[in-house]
Structure 1
Amino acid sequence: MPTRKNGVAFDLQKQPITALAGVGPRVAEKLATRGLSALQDLWLHLPRQYEDRTTLTPIRALQPGVAAQVEGTVEAVERGFRYRPMLRVAIGDDSHATLVLRFFHFRAAQVAQFAPGARVRCYGTPRPGQHGLEIVHPSYRLLGDDAEAGLGSALDPVYPAIEGVGPASLRKLIGLALDRLPQDDSLELLPPSIRDALQLPSLREALLTVHRPQAGEDVAALLAGRHPAQRRLALEELLAHHLSLRRQRLAQQAHAAPALRKSSLALKLQKRLPFQLTGAQQRVFAEIQADLAKPTPMLRLVQGDVGSGKTVVAALAAMHAVDAGKQAALMAPTELLAEQHLSNLRGWLEPLDIRVAWLAGKVTGKARSKVLEDVASGEAQVVVGTHALMQAGVAFRDLALAIVDEQHRFGVHQRLALRDKGTGGGGNGNSIVPHQLVMTATPIPRTLAMAAYADLDVSAIDELPPGRTPVQTVALSAERRPELVERIRSACAEGRQAYWVCTLIDDSDEVVAQAAQTTFEDLSKQLSKLRVGLVHGRMKTTEKQATMRAFKEGAIDLLVATTVIEVGVDVPNASLMIIENAERLGLAQLHQLRGRVGRGSAASSCVLLYRSPLSQLAKQRLETMRQTHDGFVIAEKDLELRGPGELLGTRQTGLAGFRVADLARDADLLPQVHQLGTHLLERAPDVAERIIARWVGGAARYAAA
């Protein structure tokens, strides 16, 4: 394991950016907005792509969609004003072909540069235009008659933009910072054995290769993120995030938590339920019971498909807190979903004389004061609500279990705020904190769970209750819309209900999609004998709730809605789901929406209505939906197609901060990450701290709290 021979290298990496020539207070302030304040930050501000300026491509040989560098003479300049300012510059070369350079944002001085006869070298990605190939906003420079026309000798890195700092200035600053890299391996933190086993370079070699790739480097590997230098950096970055989460867990377990033993109330509730728990529910509940019995905080994620029965498992867990004379809280991201939980919990718990309180933004005045009073006194044994639960004025008498549903939809500060409502308030190391149970109906691929939830134990309810009928899924072109209208008419005539989901509320000229408002009006006319309702996110909460309730009670036959109904609605009588512009939605969202039907005993269908032409990605998504109903299989495919971003809301989990790692691409590194993480925490905690500081820094507390 590398050790710190002296403090020079580690002090150097923390040296402020202002030590570099050309970095005054104003530039430093702009760099700081992107978290760049020390030399190390510039070393790790990695290129997002590369431009190959080592060769020139004849204009006639350009291919649409393939980035290239060309050189030519300005033949004509046109400045348009018809719709919006636009500058078009036509250049030609010895291949007797013409290329148009198009600019939407330009200055008068820029126009003057492009005088006919001037020589210009530019780089960009050509695409078909009105008059042949064109490049929109290429990077370019005007050439004189001297030696400045020489070609580059290496790939040019392209860095993430920083407002107020030009690309050339940023490249120069990063170059100056790289010149200060120690000549030896004094910055190295990974054991040589790991680097040798994976055939990875040292940190110094990796940084120089990624920032300054030479002409002989494997361009394809660099562009795909599979170059050994990038793999070396990805390994350390994944390790840093893993260690920060593991450290978070260790810090949590340094707190005390109330030991909640077996509960007679849980047994009573289980006996009163009108259904039998599935084997998966029983297994997961047993895991939760074992956690609750310990005097250290439970930190468990329960993932399960739509309708797998997570809420009843959470209710059984809450009985352990109530039986011990303490409180449990369940928080959901929307009032719709929170009210669904409230209805279920009151139905199950009030016959057992358990007080279930409701706290949301719309609970105001005397009603709110009464709820707050009951929560503070302990009269409210189980409290259900939205983010309102985390507000400063909400004080629990003795919160022992915090349950968070669809937890990835909350900001990290909100989740910490609910945890800190425990008896000890999250103060010193001996304070008492509640057990935490987080739930998600978005199944998470194993690789993603390993990386994103290293601070949590993960349970999966991977079995649906008996009686749930498989939903037949078909994909249809939007041209067959009239057939679907007749299908709705027939289904509703038989006493069934249907959803029609749209991706927009209002019509938009920019996005080709059928808006919910227009669809509601059209369907109301075409199906005049049916009761048609409309729900979207801009409606007042009272209107929205009233419509949803009417649909649930059977007073509405067809519900036209935006994706607001993705979670929170349980209508067993609904057997038909039509999703307009399905090609615009991700797999996880399509799967969530489909889960709204098939909740009763009637055969159910989901129609994915799409507009042609379909992209290759959209085709793969729709085909996956047709082939499988398994949320875990769908999640794996979603990760493969889109990466981790939208599965978890990475901006909130900390995964969005990855500079080079990609969970889908680099999943094979995770076993080494786990093994090395355990080794460092046990035998070299100081090295673990340095790795965290290097890649995660001050964000460690919020990485996945």
Structure 2
Amino acid sequence: MRAERSTGLDRVIGARSGKKFAEQLGIATAGELLGHFPRRYLARGELTPIRELPFDEDVTLMAQVVSSSTRRMNTRKGSITEVLVSDRPGQTNGPSTLSLTFFNGVKASRQLTRGVVAMFSGRVGMYRGRLQLTNPIYELLDPEELDAEAAAKLAGRPIPVYPATAAIPSWTIAKAMGTVLGAVDLSSVPESLPERLRRKYGLPSAAEAYRMIHVPENDAEWRIAQQRFRFEEALVLQTALARRRAQHAALPSRPSPARRGGLLDAFDRGLPFELTAGQRDVGEVLAHELSQPHPMNRLLQGEVGSGKTVVALRAMLQVVDDGGQAALLAPTEVLASQHYASIRATLGPLVREGLLGGAGDDGVEVALLTGSQSAGEKKRSLLAAASGQAGIVVGTHALLSEHVQFADLGLVVVDEQHRFGVEQRDALRAKSLATPHLLVMTATPIPRTVAMTVFGDLETSVLRELPAGRSPIATHTVGLVENPSWERRIWQRAREEVDAGRQVYVVCPTIGAGAGDEGDLDELDAATWGGSALAAPEPLQATSVSETAEQLATEPALAGIEVGVLHGRLDTEAKAAAMRRFAAGETGVLVATTVVEVGVDVPNATLMVILDADRFGIAQLHQLRGRVGRGGHAGTCLLVTRLEPGHPSRERLEAVAASTDGFELAQHDLEFRREGDILGASQSGRRSTLRLLRVLRDGDVIARAREDALELVADDPELERHPELAAAIADYLDPEREVFLERG
């Protein structure tokens, strides 16, 4: 009896092996193993016998480890592992043996022990008159394969290398794959790609592709198979997004057409500056979409200081002019309070102070709702929202509470999209009878291919211009290993800024003083290291706010200057007081965590010192430095690191120092991080849901798939004529994983 894709793997390869695969790799069925694709292939061309190795050429050979030793290097830091291999079992010297050298090869020293068989690939070099391979790539093989017959069988054929673990090496997975391929009737595998699209792009069937990717006869076969599965993956994602967009567009919404002579016109007349061309263009798009009877669903991205908040405020006033309400959801109390104060200050005389009757031609009431407010303050804000008295309500997660009601919610603005999940956004949107319009803002620039993949159900607008009066920010990497005297110069530089009447931020990665966590870096691990080939920083003790504040209090260069402290563990009153004193100029230097990353606006701050900057991701560094140079004075950002020159993590610092273009940096970020958390893995606790598709490399594939998906959904919204594709979407994007579609 033939096995099905849904058959338990233990029934195909045995209970013991099946249990091991489930525990080690999370693979429980035959179909899941078929979807475990090779990460690369070895043996391009013939296997080369050791005795025939050509000098200075790339070779691939199969051999057994004869001996292995590791020692410390004398002339520089690190270790050297020397491995002797032979392709003739039993021979320990002579022309059938070869020396392999690995510098700092911890993995090689652990894996390449006596008796181990592996496939080695590298360029043949010479050392002391003998041929050798230096740092060759290798893949462990089944010891039974080291014979002439096996070598002849493998020669010339690509050998798949699978994502593996120490307990289940690649060759064990390959053996299990062979068993599954012999047991499963591949002709019965559902074909999720519509026949028309397979013909259009010349792609093989699912059955052919599974064989070609796991047991290819040549390199061309596995490349064709990868193309098929890559496009299939892109089509599944894009069809899911296109269907979500179509379903959302079909919902009823509250149209709010622009009205002449209302609050928006009065606001525009009172602006002390000219809107940029980008702000005007985006404003016209929003005005049109807000007037439609179906919900707007738009992503607004732009640099720090590009004027997103003014654009959002104008949209909110259009809704208020029509008698509706707008809600602004912010990720932190600091940011919510900043938005509340900024909106009120920007509106000026158009703010109404809690008068009954709601918004009108003469003004709008703005309410604030956060979790730490007093009972009386909360009660007043809740009543203002529920009665319609408040036209604009600003808040944190407290807005999502079941106790919060709105009289007529017409627009939801979400700031810093990546801090909120789909459930939280939907909770706010559910507080209105008709689906409210949605405007999502992010100050983290997103490359086009990422936006297309992650935000495919949102229309996207970009603000690239900076308003007049914003000064450029000079960014420098400060390496303390090669220049230890620069540490004292940093604080002298801070003194110069304060003496000139300016102010200074000092950002640290941790809180310290027994806080028991990594400060406010809630995105540090995934944003900086997730899915990356980079190593984590050296095991240096991270600089903390508490230690730095103590140090600066006794720093001679800063004598007489008040040093403030701000981090997420302070209570709301203490945080507000710290920000108030800094904004008023009473505090010359503010030592903080990344709580100042977004929303904090002190125009007089001109210098930012980021300690242990290598512990932050590119996006965070770019966001942080956007806090200075906001008031017409030139800004400076110092990226301080204790890592040695040449360390991979310093490449990110050099990239940030070399460019102030957020979109260029976002592309660098994607290149450094690979795909790790592009689809929300850091938020959902999973690795990336992508298998073969790579956002950076496959932008053209994603674009083609998007066009095809939009056409499919327009012609068949429920995919009734494409049940296999609908099933693939349901299988690939189960409800728990689907949240990535609305993450950034």
TM-score, reference length from structure 1:
0.80
- In percent, how many aligned pairs have the same letter? 35
The residue number in structure 2 matching 1:670 is: 702
The residue number in structure 1 matching 2:415 is: 405
Which of 519, 524, 528 matches 2:553? 524
CA contact (8 A) 1:410 1:652 kept: no
Superposition map of 1:246-395 within 5 A: 246-263=242-259, 264-349=262-347, 351-352=349-350, 353=352, 354-395=364-405
**Which amino acid is 2:602 matched to?**
V
Cα distance in 2 for residues equivalent to 1:266 and 1:414: 29
The residue number in structure 2 matching 1:83 is: none
> C-alpha offsets along residues 1-33 of structure 1, whole Å, 9 cap, x if unaligned?
xxxxxxxx9x955x3437943577996899599
Cα distance in 1 for residues equivalent to 2:150 and 2:702: 46
1:232 aligns with 2:228: yes
Give the unaligned 5+ runs of structure 2: 72-80, 86-91, 123-132, 353-363, 514-536
How far does residue 303 in structure 1 lie from its aligned partner after superposition? 0.7
Cα distance in 1 for residues equivalent to 2:590 and 2:678: 27
Cα distance in 2 for residues equivalent to 1:363 and 1:419: 23
**Which amino acid is 1:159 matched to?**
P
- Aligned alpha-carbon RMSD (Å): 4.4
Cα distance in 2 for residues equivalent to 1:150 and 1:257: 67
CA contact (8 A) 1:492 1:498 kept: yes
Cα distance in 1 for residues equivalent to 2:269 and 2:373: 33
**Which amino acid is 2:706 matched to?**
H
How far does residue 556 in structure 1 lie from its aligned partner after superposition? 1.1
1:702 aligns with 2:739: yes
How far does residue 625 in structure 1 lie from its aligned partner after superposition? 2.9
The residue number in structure 1 matching 2:730 is: 693
1:549 aligns with 2:540: no
Cα distance in 2 for residues equivalent to 1:539 and 1:23: 56
The residue number in structure 2 matching 1:429 is: none
Structure 1 pair 133–588 and aligned structure 2 pair: CA distance change class (3 A): same
CA contact (8 A) 2:563 2:590 kept: yes
Cα distance in 1 for residues equivalent to 2:617 and 2:509: 12
Which of 57, 72, 75 matches 2:65? 72
Which of 598, 606, 614 matches 1:567? 598
How far does residue 188 in structure 1 lie from its aligned partner after superposition? 3.4
Which of 623, 634, 659 matches 2:691? 659
CA contact (8 A) 1:644 1:650 kept: no
Cα distance in 2 for residues equivalent to 1:541 and 1:338: 12
How far does residue 557 in structure 1 lie from its aligned partner after superposition? 0.8
The residue number in structure 2 matching 1:5 is: none
> C-alpha offsets along residues 286-315 of structure 1, whole Å, 9 cap, x if unaligned?
111101100101101111110011112111
The residue number in structure 2 matching 1:4 is: none
Superposition map of 1:26-37 within 5 A: 31=22
Cα distance in 2 for residues equivalent to 1:98 and 1:38: 39
Structure 1 pair 204–442 and aligned structure 2 pair: CA distance change class (3 A): same
How far does residue 209 in structure 1 lie from its aligned partner after superposition? 2.9
CA contact (8 A) 2:369 2:378 kept: yes
> C-alpha offsets along residues 680-701 of structure 1, whole Å, 9 cap, x if unaligned?
2234533252442353344575
1:637 aligns with 2:686: no
Structure 1 pair 496–695 and aligned structure 2 pair: CA distance change class (3 A): same
How far does residue 494 in structure 1 lie from its aligned partner after superposition? 1.0
**Which amino acid is 2:331 matched to?**
P
Cα distance in 2 for residues equivalent to 1:228 and 1:168: 23
CA contact (8 A) 2:366 2:392 kept: yes
The residue number in structure 2 matching 1:592 is: 623
| SS in structure 2 of the partner of residue 460 of structure 1 | strand
How far does residue 276 in structure 1 lie from its aligned partner after superposition? 2.5
The residue number in structure 2 matching 1:217 is: 219
**Which amino acid is 1:482 matched to?**
R
How far does residue 477 in structure 1 lie from its aligned partner after superposition? 2.1
CA contact (8 A) 2:567 2:592 kept: yes
Which of 491, 496, 500 matches 1:490? 496
CA contact (8 A) 1:47 1:210 kept: yes
Instruction: Work out the number of aligned pairs and report it.
Output: 655
Structure 1 pair 614–690 and aligned structure 2 pair: CA distance change class (3 A): farther
Which of 11, 17, 21 matches 2:12? 21
Structure 1 pair 638–602 and aligned structure 2 pair: CA distance change class (3 A): same
1:605 aligns with 2:608: no
How far does residue 410 in structure 1 lie from its aligned partner after superposition? 1.3
Cα distance in 1 for residues equivalent to 2:146 and 2:698: 47
| SS in structure 1 of the partner of residue 257 of structure 2 | coil
Cα distance in 2 for residues equivalent to 1:206 and 1:24: 28
| SS in structure 1 of the partner of residue 462 of structure 2 | strand
Superposition map of 1:145-160 within 5 A: 153=154, 155-159=159-163
CA contact (8 A) 1:261 1:293 kept: yes
The residue number in structure 1 matching 2:520 is: none
Structure 1 pair 72–278 and aligned structure 2 pair: CA distance change class (3 A): closer
**Which amino acid is 1:72 matched to?**
V
Cα distance in 2 for residues equivalent to 1:569 and 1:695: 40
Structure 1 pair 70–228 and aligned structure 2 pair: CA distance change class (3 A): same
| SS in structure 1 of the partner of residue 327 of structure 2 | strand
Cα distance in 1 for residues equivalent to 2:662 and 2:611: 21
| SS in structure 2 of the partner of residue 329 of structure 1 | strand
